[in-house]
Amino acid sequence: MSRPSLPPYPPCFSFCSDAECCGHGLKYVWPELIGKLAWEAATIIKKDNPSVTVLVLKPGFVGLHDFCCNRVYVYTDENGKVFLIPRIG
């Protein structure tokens, strides 16, 4: 099965309603990145799924609530470490 080529984010691109659908055989969720430094997490995510844009959010910042197949938010704590599981959306 070939996967669609996704345009870069922004703009938001979505043809699904859940992260698994957006993955098209590529990784779409990264629970193993909890506790990693944000730059390490972003590098791993881009390697695992080059179709997504990784956005690192500092403490207190919240991502948009729209669902995008071409975006992954990485939420960090005050030490620059990932504290929520990154996933497509």
Q: Name all domains of the chain by residue range, CATH numbers in brackets.
A: 22-75 (3.30.10.10)
On whether the pTM is more than 0.85, the answer is: yes
Closest Cα partner for 85 from 31, 42, 47? 31
Which three-class secondary structure state does DSSP give residue 47?
helix
Tens of pLDDT along the chain (89 residues) come to 455 567 788 888 888 888 888 887 899 999 999 999 999 999 999 999 999 999 999 999 989 888 999 999 999 999 999 999 999 99
Q: Are 88 and 72 in contact (CB under 8 A)?
A: yes
Euclidean distance between CA atoms 23 and 65, whole angstroms? 19
Distance CA 56, CA 68 (A): 15
